């Protein structure tokens, strides 16, 4: 809708003057004839050429010519198609860039981090240890909490033509503690796993057998389509196809509308500014809606792009089924139209706001009992945007207002969300307002999503949130202070960086311990790693975390024994009888002829709820006991909901 250009900004200028005609006065003196003719010819060429160039290069001039010389319906169709083409080109170009980057290979470095302060450390120690350690072991843990300032979960994700590789790691104070790597080839259905600090060798799983089973279940086409999309998304839907589809279905609308009312230079209020837009009004009744549906169905039936995706690439239905199903819908709509039992009253009125360049800047949708207004405009350096809903009582259930000032390529301002909410304490609707403020917001890299700026979020009954956005052009950092009831509990943030043109190598199956759906049943952990290797791995982790040698050996041994027992029991005992939920043995058989299950009856002393005599009493709940966790209004809502719940429960019990 905005079609905003970062370099040129918005242009709301209007051409209010009438088109002028210029000519050359005839000169009759013979001695000056040739000179006058030459001057006249040059002047004519300049005027005509300049006019043609202006028409060719100025959207404003084009719009004014179309507006003044075309019928309202023709002008509206031209505006709709012009904006559709712009949108189609923009989406197609963006999609093409993404496809090109995927072919080159792309890599994402991501880190989510938390920086703890003394408030948090004291709180954790108080909650777990009562503020102090009673023995040497507890004191060791307290020291680790005291000495660790930053916790981070980091990941590197790379992909290229169906190959992918991911590494996820835990970092303490920017030191890598442990990692987990995953790699895969979606074409061959080979997947690999490892913990590099434990063992460089990969543990692989050949999922081709699982793929065959899914193929036997009728999912082969979907799996093949999934592979094709990962390897080459453009073969599934090309950028040109995407642009064609946008223009195709917008064209249905522009061709359908045959009656348009135009109001030129209408004043439209957007927040605190007033702009002049051409307003194109279209009214639709019940019959118009069915006619429009019919036109869309006809276009869909002849849409070879969608038909090819559904019938060939996804193989959901064949071509005959595709066309027959749409034809059935077409016939159904035609029957309704033939009956001609329609109310002629207008169901919806659509106002389209068009600026001086022919760019659509907003809409207003109005029905008999509701209205939705949305528009964007600019006055000098002031940019305003507004979305507003109006109900049948003339009230606004919600509004969204954008107010920003442009300074070069930076923007400062706020977005205000206003909404109505029922208050149990007031027994009436109250208006709430949330505000997002931004200062010096600028786009550093549009393609990668890198931006700079400071953002403040103010939400009713919630502590303010101040977010810092910063980018050096290589990565993006987003962080904010964690503040609860006025107390600072450290900083939370994340960083990410995107690279293009990376190769992704999948591990060689010959260098990995490969498993499949059959061999995994008998897998033992010592086939891949020894107890000594696993114990050494846990010792390294415990030392990095900060445990002393005195505790490391004991902890590492206990953890190693536990892991071996758990893994071997999970994989070694796996067979086809594990999931037979029958009633002839001692699994969870929910029958009523023995005493081995949880029988929820009321004729014995079981701990069931059948004989409960509990009665809910709102007076048992006091806000003082809950004020740390919720506002008073939220507490009242909570008690009211609990009361309704128990009333319903008592009805069902009776």
442-458 confidence digits (pLDDT tens): 999 999 999 999 999 99
Q: How many CB atoms lie within 10 A of CB 74?
A: 13
Return the higher-pLDDT residue of 68 and 443. Answer: 443
Backbone angles phi, psi at 19, to 5 degrees: -65, 130
Name the DSSP letter for residue 459: -
- CA dist 495 and 503 (Å) reads 23
- CA dist 398 and 416 (Å) reads 10
Return the higher-pLDDT residue of 178 and 625. Answer: 178
Band (578; pLDDT cuts 50, 70, 90): very low
Question: Please, what is the end-to-end C-alpha distance for the chain in angstroms?
Answer: 58
Backbone angles phi, psi at 205, to 5 degrees: -135, 120
Structure confidence at residue 486 (pLDDT): 83
Structure confidence at residue 537 (pLDDT): 93
* pLDDT beyond 90 at 85: yes
Share of the chain residues as helix, strand and coil, in percent rounded to the nearest 5: 40, 30, 30
**Helix (H, G, I), strand (E, B), or coil: what is residue 338?**
helix
Return the higher-pLDDT residue of 494 and 570. Answer: 494
Lowest average pLDDT, out of 18-22, 159-163, 281-285, 410-414, goes to: 18-22
Return the higher-pLDDT residue of 68 and 238. Answer: 238
- CA dist 469 and 454 (Å) reads 6
Convert the pLDDT of each residue in 41-66 to its tens digit.
444 444 444 444 444 456 788 888 88
**Helix (H, G, I), strand (E, B), or coil: what is residue 381?**
coil
The angle that helices 319-339 and 286-301 make with each other, rounded to 10 degrees, is 160
Lowest average pLDDT, out of 191-200, 436-445, 484-493, goes to: 484-493
* pLDDT beyond 60 at 290: yes
Q: Indicate the domain borders of the chain.
A: 286-343, 527-573, 618-653
Q: How many CB atoms lie within 10 A of CB 416?
A: 18
Structure confidence at residue 530 (pLDDT): 92
Mean pLDDT of 251-259: 93
Q: How many CB atoms lie within 10 A of CB 219?
A: 13
Convert the pLDDT of each residue in 197-244 to its tens digit.
999 999 999 988 776 666 655 666 677 777 777 778 888 899 999 999
Mean pLDDT of 409-417: 97
Beta strands in 271-381 (DSSP E): 273-285, 346-354, 360-366, 371-379
Measuring CA to CA, which residue among 263, 267, 284, 289 is closest to residue 276?
A: 267
Strands 398-407 and 261-270, bridge-based pairing: unpaired
Band (7; pLDDT cuts 50, 70, 90): very low
pTM exceeds 0.85: no
Provide the mean pLDDT of the chain: 83
């Amino acid at each position: 809708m905005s079609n905003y250009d970062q370099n040129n900004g918005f242009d709301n200028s209007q051409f209010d003057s009438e088109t002028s005609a210029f000519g050359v006065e005839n000169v009759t003196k013979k001695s000056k004839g040739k000179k006058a003719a030459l001057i006249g010819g040059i002047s004519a060429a300049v005027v005509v050429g300049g006019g043609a160039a202006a028409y060719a290069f100025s959207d404003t001039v084009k719009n004014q010519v179309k507006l003044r010389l075309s019928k309202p319906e023709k002008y509206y169709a031209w505006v709709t198609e012009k904006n559709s083409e712009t949108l189609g080109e923009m989406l197609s170009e963006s999609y093409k860039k993404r496809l090109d980057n995927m072919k080159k290979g792309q890599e994402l470095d991501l880190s989510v981090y938390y920086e703890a302060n003394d408030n948090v450390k004291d709180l954790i120690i108080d909650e777990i240890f009562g503020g102090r350690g009673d023995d040497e072991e507890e004191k060791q843990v307290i020291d680790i909490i005291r000495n660790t300032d930053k916790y981070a979960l980091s990941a590197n994700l790379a992909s290229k033509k169906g190959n992918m590789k991911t590494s996820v790691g835990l970092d303490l104070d920017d030191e890598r503690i442990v990692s987990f790597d995953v790699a895969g080839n979606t074409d061959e259905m080979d997947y690999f796993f490892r913990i590099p600090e434990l063992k460089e060798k990969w543990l692989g799983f050949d999922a081709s057998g699982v793929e065959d089973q899914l193929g036997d279940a009728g999912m082969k086409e979907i799996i093949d389509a999934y592979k094709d999309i990962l390897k080459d998304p453009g073969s599934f839907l090309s950028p040109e196809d995407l642009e064609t589809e946008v223009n195709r279905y917008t064209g249905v609308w522009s061709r359908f509308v045959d009656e348009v009312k135009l109001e030129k230079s209408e004043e439209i209020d957007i927040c605190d500014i007033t702009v002049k837009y051409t307003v194109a009004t279209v009214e639709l009744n019940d019959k118009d809606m069915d006619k429009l549906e019919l036109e869309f169905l006809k276009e869909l039936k002849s849409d070879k792009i969608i038909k090819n995706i559904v019938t060939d690439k996804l193989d959901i239905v064949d071509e005959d089924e595709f066309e027959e199903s749409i034809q059935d819908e077409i016939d159904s709509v035609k029957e309704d139209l033939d009956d001609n039992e329609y109310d002629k009253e207008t169901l919806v009125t659509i106002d389209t706001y068009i600026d001086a360049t022919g760019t659509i800047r907003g809409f207003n949708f109005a029905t008999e009992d509701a209205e939705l207004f949305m528009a964007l405009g600019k006055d000098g350096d002031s940019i305003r945007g507004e979305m507003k809903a109006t109900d049948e009582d003339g009230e606004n259930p919600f509004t969204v207002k954008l107010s920003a000032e442009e300074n070069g390529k930076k923007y400062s301002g706020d977005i205000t969300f206003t909404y109505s909410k029922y208050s149990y304490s007031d027994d009436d609707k109250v208006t709430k307002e949330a505000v997002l403020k931004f200062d010096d917001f600028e786009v550093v890299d549009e393609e990668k999503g890198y931006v700079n700026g400071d953002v403040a979020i103010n939400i009713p009954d919630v502590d303010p949130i101040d977010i810092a956005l910063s980018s050096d052009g290589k990565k993006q950092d987003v962080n904010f202070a964690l503040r609860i009831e006025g107390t600072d509990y450290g900083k939370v943030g994340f960083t990410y960086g995107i690279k293009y043109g990376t190769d992704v190598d999948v591990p060689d199956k010959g260098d990995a311990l490969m498993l499949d759906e059959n061999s995994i049943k008998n897998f033992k952990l010592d086939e891949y790693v020894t107890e000594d290797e696993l114990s050494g791995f846990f010792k390294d982790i415990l030392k990095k975390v900060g445990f002393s040698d005195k505790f490391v050996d004991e902890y590492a041994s206990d953890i190693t024994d536990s892991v071996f027992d758990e893994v071997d029991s999970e994989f070694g005992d796996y067979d086809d009888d594990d999931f037979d939920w029958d009633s002839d043995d001692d699994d969870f058989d929910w029958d009523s002829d023995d005493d081995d299950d949880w029988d929820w009856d009321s004729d014995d002393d079981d701990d069931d709820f059948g004989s409960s005599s509990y009665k809910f009493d709102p007076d048992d709940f006091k806000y003082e006991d809950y004020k740390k966790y919720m506002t008073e209004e939220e507490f009242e809502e909570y008690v009211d909901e609990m009361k309704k719940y128990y009333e319903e429960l008592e009805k069902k019990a009776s």
